[in-house]
Amino acid sequence: MAAMAAFFKKLGANRYALPVLLAVGFVLSLVIPQYGLLNGYVQFVLIMIGINIILSASLNLVNGYMGEFSVGHAGFMSLGAYASAVLTVKLLPDLPDAFFFLPVIVGGLVAALAGFLLALLSFKTRGDYLAIITLAFLMIVKSALENIPYVGGPRGMLGIPKLTTMAWAFFWVVVTIWVLRNLLYSKFGRAIAAIREDEIAANSMGVRVREAKILAFSVSAFFAGVAGALLAHLLVFINPSSFDILKSTEMLVMVYLGGIGSLAGSILGAVIYTLLSNWLQDFGTWRMVIMPLILVLLMLFRPKGIMGFRELPWFLPKREARRKDS
Amino acid sequence: MDYFAQQAINAIQQGSIYALIALGYSMVYGVLTMINFAHGDLFMVGAFACLLIASFFPLPFIVILILVMLATGFLGALLERLAYRPLRNAPRVSAIITALGCGLVIENVVLSLSPYAKPMPPLFTVTGYHIGGLSVSTLQLMIIGVSIALMLGLDFLIRRTSFGMAMRAISFDAKTVPLLGIPLNRIISVTFLIGAGLGGAAGMLYGQAYPVIAASMGILVGWKAFVAAVVGGIGSIRGAVLGGYILGTVEVMTVAFLPSTYRDLVAYSLLLVILIFKPYGLLGKAPNQKV
């Protein structure tokens, strides 16, 4: 064990390891489906892990790094899923597979617009009341989609082309982590850390609280929309009730299990959660008892999660990594 | 006009049930400044407890009501003891997440034990009266009467007894009050007991009014009552009652004049609009913020 830990520590500290691993991962994500190296179910689980990493990392931006509490992430996700599915099913049915990034980006932008508006409107509220507003947002999106016949109403949308491949999932995971890492260690990242520690103090020290919050919500919503778009084109079927409060709870489990305020934690949480939830598939509805129970036990015994505010050197910019070493 | 008056009676009935549940949210928020997201599921447990008791023991209505209130009340107090008390000094977010998790655990345990919706037997024979062009049933009168009696009882308890004074003191200043010799933990437990008991009573009344109960009613109805509590100003007892009747009216009128699928949309949009313009609800006060 100790040897393995030492190996991982060395690997983590080596800055050339990351680009090499990324290249290997991308090649594998192209080769595996091409030659059927893994069976379909394993490939499906791997893509789900990717989607869940995008979700947990983006939710971590608001719930972990900024210290607010949003339960509306499933709402952003459903907006992304529906917007992209409308594009690929109704508006651009002949889209070549290589242009799949287009509907995904549109889905992300629609979700980001909703996040922007929500943050703009709810600026005066914080804490419990912000949680309530995000909850109301989730419910409004769900019942609004149920009342739009164009997207199938409560029955949902069928016949979405299966465009999400391992390579696309891998690509979007890398983009998400890269963008979030660069944002978190910029001026904006310092601002949201200051807001987390004390919003009023941050405001009086000259942090533009309103702008930082709006940006954090928009970016977080964008990636939730991206994840929704990927999910829609993986499952080839979506309906409004698949993006309910339980979906948001799943994301909360991932974030708080892996660790708040940590990208490595988000990845870890998503991997553990996806594997666990597939393993618990046989338990039927009891699975939905076990998942929230894990969340409660985590809050009682380890509220910051496994990685809580710690980071692997890979996810730190060079400057930060040097500062931590010395 | 008759149609409108008839809808008004339905609105009062619906509003009474919402108000009863909303009281539980507001009382807990008053003493702990914490949203008990599991409260909607205690409401659902109330309906199931009623079904269990009524199908094994043919007791009179009022006895079943008391038993249901005790059962859900103790479940609420147990929840506080096991899940919320250890987190009382933890960050607020931890407490909200725990409450959300506890609610989902309760809901899905009930769902796993009873996967299909269950019919609820009527507990007394319902007769209808016609006054002018209006029809009122004994069931509606019973629901409205029991709810108003419980609310008046709660009002008396909070305003006229030493327990009520202690509760109001804690919601005014939870740090100083224990120093004055008031048993904080006991008062909080009793608050949960009463709040959850009222929610259970609402569950039983709801089961009589709409005699098919399912595990999902905690989210469908309980969370709507939460909207009512927030609209009224969470933490304010009178606000909860006001919010309950406002929401009941809005919902019944939505269904009367628009397609019924718009009900949730209108209810949650109302919540969003009120929170944007009055961030602490109609009768709530803004907390002091200090650095």
Instruction: For residue range B82-109, list pLDDT tens digits in order.
Output: 999 998 888 777 888 899 899 999 999 9
Provide the pLDDT for residue B186: 93
**Residue B252 in contact with residue B272, Cβ under 8 Å?**
no
Q: Predicted ipTM?
A: 0.84
Backbone φ and ψ for B210, nearest 5 degrees, come out as -125, 85
Does residue A281 have a pLDDT over 80?
Answer: yes
| Contact call for A63 and B93, based on CB within 8 A | yes
Residue A282 lies in a domain: no
Rounded Cα distance between B186 and A98, Å, is 64
Backbone φ and ψ for A29, nearest 5 degrees, come out as -65, -20
Does residue B164 have a pLDDT over 60?
Answer: yes
Residue A284 lies in a domain: no
Of B87, B219, B280, the CB nearest to A299: B87
Q: Which residues of A touch B219 (CB under 8 A)?
A: 245
Does residue A4 have a pLDDT over 70?
Answer: no
Residue B5 contacts A where some CB pair is shorter than 8 Å: no
Residue B69 contacts A where some CB pair is shorter than 8 Å: no
DSSP string, B46-106: HHHHHHHHHHH----HHHHHHHHHHHHHHHHHHHIIIIIGGGTTS-HHHHHHHHHHHHHHH
| Contact call for A147 and B227, based on CB within 8 A | no
Rounded Cα distance between A246 and B218, Å, is 13
pLDDT digits (tens, 9 = 90+) for A197-207: 888 899 899 99
Instruction: Output the six-digit token pair for B20.
Output: 């009863």
Give residue limits of the domains in chain B. 14-217
Q: How far is CA A236 from CA A86, A156, A171, A239, B132, in A?
A: 12, 11, 20, 11, 56
Instruction: Output the six-digit token pair for B78.
Output: 């147990």
Nearest-CA distance A46 → chain B (Å): 27
Residue A176 sits in which domain range?
A: 15-243
Give A 42-71 residues with CB within 8 A of chain B: 63, 67, 69, 71
Residue A212 lies in a domain: yes
**Residue B215 in contact with residue B47, Cβ under 8 Å?**
no
Q: Where are the beta strands (DSSP E) in chain B?
A: 118-119, 128-131, 134-137, 212-213
Q: Which residues of B touch A252 (CB under 8 A)?
A: 97, 100
Domain count, chain A: 1
Q: Which residues of A touch B109 (CB under 8 A)?
A: 289
User: Residue B231's Cα: distance from chain center in Å?
Assistant: 14
Rounded Cα distance between B289 and B181, Å, is 27
Residue A131 contacts B where some CB pair is shorter than 8 Å: yes
Does residue B29 have a pLDDT over 50?
Answer: yes
User: Residue B206's Cα: distance from chain center in Å?
Assistant: 11
Q: Which residues of B touch A124 (CB under 8 A)?
A: 276, 279
pLDDT digits (tens, 9 = 90+) for A13-46: 676 777 888 888 888 888 888 888 888 899 999 9
Residue A147 lies in a domain: yes
Nearest-CA distance A133 → chain B (Å): 6
